[in-house]
Amino acid sequence: MNALALALNFAAVAAIMLLLCNVGKLFGPTARHEGDAELPYETGLPPMEEAGRGMSALYWRFAVLFVVFDVDLAFLLPWALNRSALTGESLASVTVFVGLLLFMLGYFWRKGSLSCRP
């Protein structure tokens, strides 16, 4: 009995998935595969080059640093929102936290990680 229910469930799931995958084909207008219909839309002009080309890696350090400091900002936000309940001790700890961030920013700057030149 349970096995039958499980099988019915699987069948229902498969049917719904098939339906959802093909609902556009069933009810939508017929697709045109001619001319520039397959081209990606780019401000109305024909694309100049392939979108899947290699990107320069010079920017990656910058990107990583951005993510790191962005996450740190997420830590600071709840602190700022609770400022009415804060004591001197929490001010001291958040000052240490921001100080560490500034130290590391200075370190990266000094090591040349902020420059986009090779």
* Binding stretches for other proteins (CB under 8 A): 85, 87, 89-90, 100, 103-104, 106-107, 110-111
User: From the CB of 110, what's the least distance to other proteins, in Å?
Assistant: 4
Alpha helices in 1-118 (DSSP H): 2-27, 60-81, 88-110
User: From the CB of 26, what's the least distance to other proteins, in Å?
Assistant: 39
Q: Is the dihedral of CA 81, 84, 90, 95 positive or negative?
A: positive
Nearer to other proteins, 9 or 115 (CB): 115
User: From the CB of 13, what's the least distance to other proteins, in Å?
Assistant: 25
Nearer to other proteins, 14 or 111 (CB): 111
Is the CB of residue 95 less than 8 Å from the CB of residue 76? Answer: no
Is the CB of residue 51 less than 8 Å from the CB of residue 40? Answer: yes
Nearer to other proteins, 22 or 82 (CB): 82
User: From the CB of 65, what's the least distance to other proteins, in Å?
Assistant: 15
Terminal C-alpha separation, the chain: 68
Nearer to other proteins, 25 or 110 (CB): 110
The Cβ-side half-sphere exposure at 12, using a 13 Å CA radius, reads 6
